[in-house]
A and B are shown apart, each in its own frame.
Chain A
């Protein structure tokens, strides 16, 4: 069991949350002209990071808001949580 810091509610038990995979994946804008391969890339392919991973979480049993978390996929340690639209902590490169 671990505690997750919801950016809106504060610290809550893990079982109130659910995780929905990698964050900061921008939906393609030019959808009319995408090839099947490009669609497949957007829908199915993820970075499968070992280490620090930015991912989307939702406070399912709480405020029902989506937010992002920076988690180490090896140790399960969550280093930060931040609201959608906020700059990820420690992000050097620009994110979509």
Chain B
């Protein structure tokens, strides 16, 4: 399988105009974890070093890992590791079998990074979620809607945002963002 031509749905495209840059990030390991607290947070902390008892709709990064809040008993971990295998194995080792779920979703999603002074306006065109800088700040994330697609959006810094989208919706969101970029 190492001669697959396409590694990510958007083939690492880049769209750049004045005040706006949109690009697909390289693939990274993504793992969703569900289970009862506090066992879940203890396992995540021991494996990633990140505090998992976090406020709703926030994310946090340390070293190679980023942790996202997805629900009261659910977290998502991004890792710069080439595969999720080690991460999945060590999490499963720490969690009670049959009462938790650790799932490799690396290829289920892709991430589009959008940045620049026009970024917030472009995002606001497709989502009912409030992305005004007064409300949506670095370290915040939200699962919401963009057009007809479900997304996970996070604010990395000032005007840089990561939009995680399902593989099959990636082209739709990409075209939507690029098209709107021409009008903002």
Instruction: Please report A residues at the B interface, Cβ cutoff 8 Å.
Output: 1, 8-10, 12-13, 15-16, 60-65
Contact = CB atoms under 8 A, between A and B. Distances in A.
Chain B interface size band reads 10 to 19
B145 A63 contact: no
A19 B112 CA distance: 31
Interface string B88-129: 000000000000000000000000000000000000000011
Interface in B142-184: 142-145, 150
Contacts of B57: 9-10
30 contacts: A1-B128, A8-B56, A8-B71, A8-B72, A9-B56, A9-B57, A9-B142, A9-B143, A10-B56, A12-B128, A12-B144, A13-B128, A13-B145, A15-B128, A15-B145, A16-B128, A16-B144, A16-B145, A60-B150, A61-B143, A61-B150, A62-B143, A62-B144, A63-B56, A63-B70, A63-B71, A63-B74, A64-B143, A65-B71, A65-B72
B151 to A, nearest CB: 8
A63 B17 CA distance: 33
A36 B46 CA distance: 53
Contacts of B145: 13, 15-16, 61
A1 B57 CA distance: 23
A16 B148 CA distance: 10
Nearest to A63: B71
Contact of A64 (B71, B128, B129, B142): B71
Interface in B37-82: 56-57, 70-72, 74
